Amino acid sequence: MGNPVDYVRQAASEGCSGLGISDHCPYPDDGVWSGSRMSVAGIPRYLEMVRSGRAEATFPFFWGFECEWYPAYEHWYRDYLRAELGAEYLVYGAHWVNDNGEFWYIPDVHDKPLLRRYTDLTIQGLDSGLYDLFAHPDLFLAGFPKMDEDVRSVCAEIIDAAVANGIPMEINGLGLRKSMVRGDQGMRPPYPVREFWEMAAERGACIVCCSDAHRIEDVLDGTRESLAFAESIGVQTIDAVTALALVPKAVQL
């Protein structure tokens, strides 16, 4: 909670070197995935708040939206959020899978056929050319805590698609604060998942660490925790601002 300027001030007090704001994007029908995103009517207020945040920042500050991928909304993402509103970056958050007109939150899914559908949709999103950063790409492992052959194959497919498209993947600090699940090696966070990130490093992924801060006081703590996680498993990361600059379509910050 809080406004972008509040996050900027907190980040500045902790020595931040760059900050990105990316609220969950609105949809033309405010009923789509409601409850976790702004309304269309809230867009002017959001733009006003990010302008205030930029005016306050003494370090690189950039703004955008976190979006799902669903083909029916491709023009909304590309032509409205990016082109008309001028979003500087779009974060891909693969949160949902469609089943007979219903959208299911992927951490609550345990069905392998739905995981296959989710994987295909996620790869389609990565191939769309829309996104500059892939948030919590291992989110689906919250519902598939056992890393069997099928699940490992899905991990490899998703990682390889991100690598092929040059999209940085995020070790997400917020996941480290969620209730633990029982995996192959005992209790672990629902995400990030060690085995996924070891595979990502082996397969040449560009890996960044972010907070996914939903509270002002977490603006940098989540990044520190995700960095500590990466270091604990021997995974090398790069600075998120640097990573975004490497994406061909990203705004040079």
- Residue 251 is assigned to a structural domain of this protein: no
In a domain, 94, yes or no: yes
The pLDDT score that the predictor gives to residue 252 is 34
In a domain, residue 253? The reply is: no
Calpha distance 165→136 (Å, rounded): 17
Helices and strands, number each (H, E), in the chain: 8, 10
Going by the DSSP 8-state scheme, the letter that residue 94 receives in this structure is -
Q: DSSP secondary structure string, 100-153? A: TTEEEEGGG---HHHHHHHHHHHHHHHTTS--SEE--TTGGGGS--S--HHHHH
Instruction: State yes or no: pLDDT of 253 exceeds 70.
Output: no
Tell me whether residue 58 is in a domain: yes
Query: What pLDDT score was predicted for residue 2?
Result: 79
Task: Output 234 or 15, whichever has higher pLDDT.
Answer: 234
Q: What percent of the chain has pLDDT over 90?
A: 81
Q: Rounded to whole angstroms, how far apart are CA atoms 94 and 31?
A: 18
pLDDT at 91: 96
Across the range 197-215, mean pLDDT stands at: 95
Cis peptide preceding 4, ω within 30 of 0 = no
Task: Quote the strand ranges of the chain, DSSP E.
Answer: 19-24, 61-67, 89-92, 96-99, 102-105, 133-134, 169-172, 181-183, 186-188, 207-210
Q: Is residue 91 part of a domain?
A: yes
Structurally, the chain folds into a number of domains equal to 1
**pLDDT tens, position by position, 184-194:** 989 999 999 99
pLDDT band, residue 22 (cuts 50/70/90):
very high
Structure tokens at 37: 């995103």
pLDDT band, residue 163 (cuts 50/70/90): very high
pLDDT digits (tens, 9 = 90+) for 75-90: 999 999 999 999 999 9
| Res. 249: pLDDT tops 90 | no
* pLDDT above 90 for 101: no
- Residue 246 pLDDT: 58
State the residue range of the domain holding 143.
4-246
In a domain, 66, yes or no: yes
- How much is the pLDDT for 251? 38
Share of the chain above pLDDT 70, in %: 95
Residue 33 predicted with pLDDT over 60: yes
The Cα-based distances of 152 to 79, 134, 139, 144, 149 in angstroms read 35, 19, 14, 10, 5
pLDDT in tens, 108-143: 999 999 999 999 999 999 999 999 999 999 999 999
Q: Is residue 103 part of a domain?
A: yes
Q: Is the Cβ–Cβ distance between 61 and 54 less than 8 Å?
A: yes
| pLDDT reported for residue 158 | 98
Question: Which has the closest alpha carbon to 93: 45, 135, 140, 151?
Answer: 135
Name the residue with tokens 């007090």: 13
Three-state DSSP state, 216 = helix
Read off the CATH number of the domain in which 42 is found: 3.20.20.140
Domain-embedded: residue 252: no
pLDDT (tens digit per residue) in 207-224: 999 999 988 999 899 999
